[in-house]
Amino acid sequence: MPVKLVPLDSSWEPFFWDHVLQDVPEHYFFIFDWKLNKDKTRIFLALQNEEIVGLLLLYDQRIVQIRGRPEAAELLMRKVDLEKAEINVLKEHESAVLKKYKSVTKHEMILMTLKRGKEHLHIKHPVTKLTPMDAPEIASLLNEGFPEFGEFTPDGVIERIKDNVLFLGVKESGKLVALGNTRILDIGSNIGMVDTREGHRGKGYATSIVSALLKEILRESRLALIHVLSDNPSAIHVYTKVGFKPYKAYSFIRGERVT
């Protein structure tokens, strides 16, 4: 039977949830965005013989994720019509993506996971819960550490904090020099951006922050996740030290449409 594509709606939701909850790490952002950002999210299911064989996530007209069989990925890519996109796919899906998008940058992204009881927390520095008063410094540090994600503004940071994003940081002489963030969900929480300001690295601040984030996450959830580029050994060392283990590798492609 051929594969057919259907948009996710209320009639398909029970089928969708039954599928994605079998492997939460693999489908984390499908779960996260459909639960919390549905107004910005479109999901398509690839179906064959009443089985989901692939899924496509389109978020905020810029982020694409595909999971499932390679033949399903080929069909799901037909639904991607963005001029520019940040695309996260299984490695076996790369060829389907590169038929349609010219790669501006391409990286291997490693998903690491940690289950409650496997953590090794190392909090050797005072870690502070950041507030809207810290928004200018948070935005400045994020712009320094993650220029590829666009401009961060104090107002945007404040909106994230109001939307239950937890920011933790380390300060030196009252100045924010390192931070990390997460949004805590009972099903599992992904640690987002972790960064230390230039000139303050190598002191263990990131280890303390990730450990403190884990302490908060594991009060509510049995699962923590973090994504890291494979060519960032210092970050991988920090995450391994606190108990994270590699779960799966993906291709991350920032591309421009060619067809």
- pLDDT of amino acid 185: 93
Q: Summarize the confidence of residues 16-21 as an average pLDDT.
A: 97
pLDDT at 259 over 70: no
| Average per-residue pLDDT for the chain | 95
The reply to whether domains 4-111+252-257 and 119-242 share a CATH topology is yes
Q: What CATH number labels 4-111+252-257?
A: 3.40.630.30
CATH architecture under which domain 119-242 falls = 3-Layer(aba) Sandwich (3.40)
Q: What's the pLDDT tens digit per position in 47-86? A: 999 899 999 999 999 999 999 999 999 999 999 999 999 9
Nearest C-alpha neighbor of 69 from the set 101, 94, 93, 96: 93
Q: Summarize the confidence of residues 230-257 as an average pLDDT.
A: 95
Cα–Cα dist 67/58, whole Å: 12
Q: What's the pLDDT tens digit per position in 132-178? A: 999 999 999 999 988 877 899 999 999 999 999 999 999 999 999 99
Instruction: State the pTM of this model.
Output: 0.93
- pLDDT of amino acid 149: 79
Domain boundaries, the chain: 4-111+252-257, 119-242
